Structure 1
Amino acid sequence: MKNIQIKASSFFELLKAKDTSMWEIFAQMIDGEEKEIIFLDEEEKVLFNYFLPDNLEKLEQDRKTFAEQYTQKLSGMN
């Protein structure tokens, strides 16, 4: 499995500037090999990680699960 380290703040700024979603970027990274994407802060400390699947179907499942969990967390904040 390949490990990919990404500076979180730069990554999300780039997504905003290009008006694209992280899921679109992740889809472009799929090549049949599972990858661990490690998001780092400015001090190179691990913020979180994501295991990029090896196919688009699993990525779509992950996107749906993320959206559901995100919605639940937002509704819990109200």
Structure 2
Amino acid sequence: MSQEKVERYKKEKANRKKIIMQEKRKSIAVKLSISLVSIAAIGWIGYSAYNVIESNKPETVVSVNMDSINDYFAGLSADTAQ
């Protein structure tokens, strides 16, 4: 039994750098995925809140009185017809 432990320890020691690097990669991947999901959720919440706020604002209506321009053009067309 002790020989098995010694062999296991030797294998672990030989692959220790690989094991540590794999654990670091997994840790970085988990942190990155959590960060991306969090950023996406915060962005979605912000965008939704902005749309709600914008939809509740009253719309401004602008009207233009074109009577004087229409009279001017009508006068020009009357002058050219004569």
Considering the TM-score relative to the shorter chain, is it more than 0.5?
no
Q: Which of 1 and 2 has higher RCO (CA within 8 Å, sep 6+)? A: 1
TM-score scaled to structure 2, two decimals?
Answer: 0.29
Q: Which has the larger radius of gyration?
A: 2
Judging by fraction of residues, say which structure has more strand.
1
Judging by fraction of residues, say which structure has more helix.
2
TM-score scaled to structure 1, two decimals?
Answer: 0.31
